[in-house]
């Protein structure tokens, strides 16, 4: 696996394998089975695969969340090498934001709902960094998990709106044996919160109203941001202690 740190360095590498299909999996690191499922699909469907690790500070509306975000880079590199990934793109903030976040991507409808309503500026940061990464890497396909379903929809629609050639591929949610959706933030759950976390998935599958599901979660110690049906899914975000969990199920 070759580690690339600068866009100009990637441009040189990209020219060497022109004609080969390229898959791309953008991540913020702290890799788990959900990420690995995306990577494995890219490896299967493309000649070459590039994974990026970049903790994008512009999408964090809470500075404490950014500070606490796990960064086990050495372990992540070991995992990527084990999967036989071809390239790791590992840029610094200045490489991605030479403009210091002066130029941004705005979406004025879906990004204001659900997570967007509770995390001001979040999707602005997400869409901006994804646009930058797709322009740098220029992949044939990019892979996104359905756990962040709102994010997946916005990224897909952004690429279509700007006539970008990268195809956005959605991949199913990977769950722990308890039913809890795989997430980098799961490792931040304390011994008291971890056994409660799977109730989020259990609640979403209940044949009850959204309001009843919200009450069910609150009675078990969750602080609920939302439980809502949209886009053929029931989606939810809720806090356990200092950890914000999101999940969704098909209706």
Q: What is the pLDDT of residues 213-243, one digit of tens each?
A: 999 999 999 999 999 999 999 999 999 999 9
Question: Mean pLDDT of all residues in the chain?
Answer: 97
Clarify whether 118 is annotated catalytic: no
Percent of the chain with pLDDT over 90: 98
Give the pLDDT confidence of 6-40 residue by residue, as tens digits.
999 999 999 999 899 999 999 999 999 999 999 99
Supply the CATH classification number for the domain 2-171: 3.40.50.620
Query: Quick one: pLDDT at residue 18?
Result: 87
Determine contact, residues 211/204, Cβ cutoff 8 Å: no
Give the pLDDT confidence of 145-189 residue by residue, as tens digits.
999 999 999 999 999 999 999 999 999 999 999 999 999 999 999
Supply the CATH classification number for the domain 184-245: 3.30.1300.10
DSSP code at position 98: T
Which ranges in the chain are annotated with CATH 3.30.1300.10?
Answer: 184-245
Catalytic residue among 32, 35, 118, 122: 35
C-alpha span between 55 and 52 (Å, rounded): 10
Query: Quick one: pLDDT at residue 169?
Result: 98
**Range 139-145 average pLDDT:** 98
Which ranges in the chain are annotated with CATH 3.40.50.620?
Answer: 2-171
Q: At residue 117, does pLDDT exceed 90?
A: yes
């Amino acid at each position: 696996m070759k580690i690339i740190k600068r866009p100009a360095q990637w441009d040189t590498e990209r020219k060497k394998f022109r004609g080969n299909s390229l898959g791309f999996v953008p991540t913020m690191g702290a890799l788990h089975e959900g990420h690995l499922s995306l990577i494995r699909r890219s490896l299967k469907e493309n000649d070459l695969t590039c994974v990026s690790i970049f903790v994008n500070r512009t999408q964090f509306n809470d500075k404490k969340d950014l500070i606490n975000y796990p960064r086990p880079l050495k372990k992540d590199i070991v995992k990527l090498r084990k999967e036989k990934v071809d390239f790791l793109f590992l840029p610094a903030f200045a490489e991605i934001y030479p403009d210091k976040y002066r130029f941004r991507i705005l979406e004025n409808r879906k990004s204001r709902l659900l997570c967007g309503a509770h995390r001001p500026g979040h999707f602005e940061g997400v869409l901006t960094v994804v646009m930058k990464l797709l322009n740098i890497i220029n992949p044939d396909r990019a892979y996104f998990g359905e756990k962040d379903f709102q994010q997946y929809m916005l990224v897909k629609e952004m690429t279509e709106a700007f006539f970008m050639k990268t195809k956005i591929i959605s991949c199913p949610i990977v769950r722990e044996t308890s039913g809890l959706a795989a997430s980098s933030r799961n490792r931040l759950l304390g011994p008291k919160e971890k056994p409660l976390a799977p109730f989020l998935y259990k609640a979403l599958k209940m044949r009850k109203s959204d309001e009843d599901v919200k009450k069910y979660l609150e009675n078990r110690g969750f602080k609920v941001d939302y439980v809502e049906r949209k886009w053929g899914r029931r989606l939810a975000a809720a806090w356990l202690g200092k950890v914000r969990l999101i999940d969704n199920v098909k209706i």
